[in-house]
Amino acid sequence: MISKKYANDYEIERIEDPNGKSKQKIVYKGKYFDFSASEEEIRATGKRIAIISAISWAAYLLPLWIESSAARTFFIIIPHAFLAVPLFLVSMLAWALLRVKPPLTREQNDRFRGRPSLTAMLIALFAGIASAGFLIRLTDVSSLTFPGDAIFFVCDLTLLFLVYLLFRHKERIASYELGG
């Protein structure tokens, strides 16, 4: 199903088969786009984003497996739990970049143009809130479990660093409209 925004990019054509039956076929009539970089560079960027995604998932899951007081503090664990959504979007972006074949439709182009910014912003927001919550939690030093809490904090800081890498890769998947 396509959204209303892209509905005008498609038309229904009626085709008559050799038996005389009329069939309907959906045909894309909108603008096409291509990446500014070569196909090899796009694949390499997809591989880099896949590595970023794998490291992000490790930094997300590791604190949940280790005993820490941060994992039992709601204003730290709730934002950390919400990180699953943007991490899933990063994984989808990597998968799409590894499988994409130009030319792109307008819908595909909009996804590639907007997804890195959206996911990086959401990761920065949730990891930043969790890190700020951890810093607030430091005021009660007596209840900290140092190895687990330190790992939790380092993993959230790692996620914040990966946001920078996502923003760096955003320019590598820039696109332009094909002539016509």
177 pLDDT above the threshold of 60: yes
Confidence tier at 140 by pLDDT (50, 70, 90): confident
Q: Count of domains in the chain? A: 1
Q: pTM value?
A: 0.83
Q: Say how far apart CA 151 and CA 135 lie, in whole Å.
A: 13
Residue 76 lies in a domain: yes
Is 27 a member of any domain? no
Return the minimum-mean-pLDDT range out of 55-64, 70-79, 82-91. 70-79
Question: Position of tokens 């880099």?
Answer: 48
96 pLDDT band, cuts 50/70/90, is very high
Structural domain range at position 70 = 33-177
Helical segments of 83-145, H only: 84-99, 106-137
Measured between alpha carbons, how far is 136 from 151 in angstroms, rounded to an integer? 16
* Residue at 12 is within a domain: no
Q: Give the chain's end-to-end CA distance (angstroms, integer).
A: 26
Length of the chain: 180
* 179 vs 121, residue with greater confidence: 121
**Residue 84 has what pLDDT?**
96
pLDDT of residue 61: 96
67 within a domain of the structure (yes/no):
yes
Looking at the domain assignment, is residue 26 inside a domain?
no
Residue 108: inside a domain, yes or no?
yes
pLDDT over 90 (residue 135):
no
pLDDT for 60 equals 95
54: in domain:
yes
SS3 percent helix, strand, coil of the chain, rounded to 5, is: 70, 10, 20
Task: Look at residue 32 in the predicted model and tell me its pLDDT.
Answer: 94
pLDDT in tens, 97-134: 999 988 999 999 988 888 888 899 999 999 999 999 98
Please report whether residue 8 resides in a domain.
no
Sign of CA dihedral 3, 8, 10, 14: positive
Q: Does residue 180 register a pLDDT over 60? A: no
Structure tokens at 103: 């030319």
